[in-house]
Amino acid sequence: MSVPLQVVAQLGAQVVVLTNSAGSLHTGWYPGSIALISDHINFSGRNPLIGTPGDERFVSLVDAYDKRLRTRMRLAASTGGAPNLHEGVYMWFSGPSFETPAEVKMAKTLGADLVGMSTVPETILARRFGLRVVALSVVTNFATGIAGGNPSHMETRTTARSGSIALKRLLRAFVRSVDTGAG
């Protein structure tokens, strides 16, 4: 994703909106709901900037998920996108296998609300190129052991399709708010 994000930044974009599918660590965050990412935990041990020459690789991730954009997203959710928008910390696992019960327990202990297999490297790269980031998860399942969760790829794909309806409404409301300068 380094080259596409760099090109987007060089073309003058200032904001990137990232989306993903994620497992919920809360029994009240049902599959099909939407969550706004406020921060992340990089559990994978990988960083897309390893091996990059120069000091630009030392990227600050304070407010990696831009506060003003999150405020606008919450406003968009309340005015027509997703009135039950959740907000929390996303923990990145490398995948492609789903997390074990012990990993989910650890994620909860460390303060995660969602688990997934993407978004964190893209966020790090976007921040390196000076882009502001807002990120959303479609909750596609309960993580392993949460409310009987036993995630499968089929469940993820099916729920992502149905959850995408609310996600599209939210993204449209968000884009309209940015266009009008609301929030």
- Nearest to 25, CA basis, from 120, 160, 164, 141: 141
Confidence of residue 56 (pLDDT cuts 50, 70, 90): confident
pLDDT at 182 over 60: no
Mean pLDDT throughout 97-111?
Answer: 96
Contact yes or no for 93/115 (Cβ under 8 A): yes
Confidence of residue 83 (pLDDT cuts 50, 70, 90): confident
45: its two tokens: 């041990």
Mean pLDDT throughout 111-138?
Answer: 97
Map out the domains of the chain as residue ranges: 28-49+59-130+165-183
Write down the catalytic residue from 87, 99, 122, 155. 99
Output the pTM of the full model.
0.92
Class in CATH terms, 28-49+59-130+165-183: alpha beta
pLDDT at res. 2: 87
pLDDT at 95 over 90: no
- Nearest to 163, CA basis, from 26, 31, 20, 37: 31
Contact yes or no for 53/164 (Cβ under 8 A): no
Higher pLDDT, 79 or 76: 76
Length of the chain: 183
pLDDT at 88 over 90: yes
Active site residue 99: yes
pLDDT at res. 4: 87
pLDDT at res. 181: 61
What values do phi and psi take at 116, rounded to 5? -165, -175
DSSP track, the chain: -HHHHHHHHHTT--EEEEEEEEEESSTTS-TT-EEEEEEEEE-S---TTTT--SGGG----TTSB-HHHHHHHHHHIIIII-TT-EEEEEEE---SSPPPHHHHHHHHHTT-SEEESSSHHHHHHHHHTT-EEEEEEEEEEEPTTGGG----HHHHHHHHHHHHHHHHHHHHHHHHHHHHT--
**Cβ contacts of 165 within 8 Å, gap of 6 or more:** none
CA distance 167 to 160: 10
Contact yes or no for 37/88 (Cβ under 8 A): yes
Mean pLDDT throughout 143-154?
Answer: 92
Q: Which residue has the tokens 């296998």?
A: 97
